[in-house]
């Protein structure tokens, strides 16, 4: 993607890659992530259950970051922190677009939020799995959110054993929460049944457009999946 600006930004647990067609939009994204993280931290000081609950909690009116996380988690039936990376990415992209940016991509811990006037390629990372970073997706329809949950790598909590449960939605916050919900169910000795269980869960969540599950060497897909592409590792 030539003619674009790119920055890797880290703040505590947040590690983002930001891509934009305008340099000032990078600064907008950094400011957005920093501001919304701070608002979330302040909120959880007086609402600690928000940090630890593994089930949906009542949706707060504010701050916006907490409200969007709670709304996404309610749809997927998981705890609100399952949506944190995706929601931070969505809010950053929203601020970038509002500043006149036409290519706004934020990857936060593997969750991607994107608005673009050109295709965006993303690789699927699944730890030491042989297919990890060897294939990915060409995103052509926007806005889009892409999120992956794994039971075998990454710091995120998962009760399942999938190498990757990748979900596609209109926003990354919902994709993030849904990927967690799907990944939690992919486990057990009958690998095909486990994959189908995950697919059924994904398609039951309002707003999920597509899902890809990688488990024990098998791949299952359903719904609307972006073009799959080969990626050079």
Task: Return the SS3 of 17.
Answer: strand
Fold of the domain built from segment(s) 5-230: T-fold (3.10.520)
At 46, is the pLDDT very low, low, confident or very high (cuts 50, 70, 90)? very high
If phi > 0 it is left, if psi is from -120 to 50 it is alpha, else beta; for residue 12 that is left
Can you give the residue ranges of every domain in the chain? 5-230
Lowest mean pLDDT among 58-62, 66-70, 127-131: 127-131
Q: What are the start-end ranges of the H helices in the chain?
A: 23-46, 49-52, 64-76, 84-98, 172-185, 191-204
Query: What pLDDT does residue 158 have?
Result: 66
Picking from 152, 145, 165, the residue whose alpha carbon sits closest to that of residue 219 is: 165
Q: What is the pTM of this model?
A: 0.92
Query: Residue 228: what pLDDT?
Result: 92
Instruction: Find tokens 């940090």 and name the residue.
Output: 51
Q: What's the confidence (pLDDT) of residue 6?
A: 94
């Amino acid at each position: 993607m030539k003619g674009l600006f790119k920055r890797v930004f880290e703040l505590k647990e947040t590690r983002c890659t930001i891509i934009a067609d305008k340099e000032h939009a990078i600064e907008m994204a950094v400011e957005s992530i920093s501001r919304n993280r701070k608002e979330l931290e302040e909120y959880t000081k007086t609402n600690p259950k928000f940090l630890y609950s593994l089930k949906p909690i009542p949706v707060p009116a504010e701050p916006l970051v907490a409200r969007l996380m709670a709304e996404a988690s309610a749809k997927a039936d998981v705890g609100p922190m399952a949506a944190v990376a995706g929601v931070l990415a969505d809010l950053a992209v929203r601020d970038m677009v509002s500043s006149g940016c036409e290519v706004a991509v934020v990857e936060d811990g593997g969750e991607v939020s994107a608005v673009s006037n050109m295709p965006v390629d993303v690789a699927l990372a699944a730890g030491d799995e042989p297919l990890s970073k060897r294939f990915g997706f060409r995103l052509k329809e926007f806005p889009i959110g892409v999120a992956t949950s794994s039971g075998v790598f990454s710091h995120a909590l998962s009760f399942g054993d999938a190498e990757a449960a990748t979900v596609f939605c209109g926003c990354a916050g919902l994709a993030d929460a849904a990927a967690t919900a799907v990944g939690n169910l992919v486990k057990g000795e009958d690998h095909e049944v486990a994959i189908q269980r995950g697919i059924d869960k994904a398609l039951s969540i309002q707003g999920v457009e597509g899902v890809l599950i990688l488990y024990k060497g098998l791949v299952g897909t359903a719904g609307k999946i972006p073009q799959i592409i080969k990626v050079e590792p």
